[in-house]
């Protein structure tokens, strides 16, 4: 189910609706660099360790 307009927010919402919780230790792979809003949301609302895209990554301590 898609309820947001950004792919990363959709992926996070879809995963959590399937019962994944905060996804501690997970890595998120994206096809392009996520926007700052999505990075902030993933950092604040999950325990995903990093977001990785083809020419970069961001660690989320």
Do residues 28 and 50 make contact, with C-beta atoms less than 8 angstroms apart? yes
Residues 2 to 61 in contact with Zn ion, rule: CB under 5 A:
6, 35, 38
Least distance from Zn ion to the Cβ atom of residue 28, Å: 12
Measure the CA–CA gap between 37 and 17, rounded to whole angstroms.
20
Q: Closer to Zn ion by CB, 36 or 55: give it.
A: 36
Q: Closer to Zn ion by CB, 5 or 19: give it.
A: 5
In three-state secondary structure terms, 40 is: helix
Q: Which residues bind Zn ion (CB under 5 A)?
A: 6, 35, 38
């Amino acid at each position: 189910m898609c309820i947001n307009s950004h792919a990363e927010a959709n992926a996070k919402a879809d995963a959590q609706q399937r019962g994944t919780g905060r996804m501690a230790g997970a890595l998120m792979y994206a096809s392009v660099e996520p926007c700052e809003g999505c990075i902030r949301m993933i950092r604040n609302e999950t325990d995903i360790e990093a977001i990785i895209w083809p020419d970069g990554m961001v660690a989320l301590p």
